[in-house]
Amino acid sequence: MAITIRKTIPTTSKFNAYTTGGDTTITLIGVDSFTGHAKKDLMKFGLPKSPSKWKVNPVDYFDYTVVDLAKGTDEIVMKGYVEDDTVTTAWEKVWKLRAMCVSGGPLTSLVIDNITFSSSTVQIFLEDISWTKNPDDTTSLATLAGDGTARIEVTLNFFIGSAR
Residue 84 pLDDT: 86
The pair phi, psi for residue 59, each rounded to 5°, is -135, 160
Phi-psi region of 141 (alpha: psi -120 to 50; beta: other; left: phi over 0): alpha
77 DSSP β-pair partners: 35, 157
Residue type, 46: G
From the list 73, 80, 91, 101, the residue with the least C-alpha distance to 154 is: 80
Residue 86 pLDDT: 83
Query: DSSP states of 55-79 as a string?
Result: HHS--SS--EEEEEEEEEEEEEEEE
- Give the global pTM: 0.85
- Neighbouring residues of 158: CB distance < 8 A, sequence distance ≥ 6: 75, 76, 77, 78, 107, 110, 117, 124, 125, 126, 127
Q: Which residues of the chain have pLDDT under 50?
A: none
Residue 103 pLDDT: 93
Residue 160 pLDDT: 97
Residue 147 pLDDT: 66
Residue 148 pLDDT: 67
The length of the chain in residues reads 164
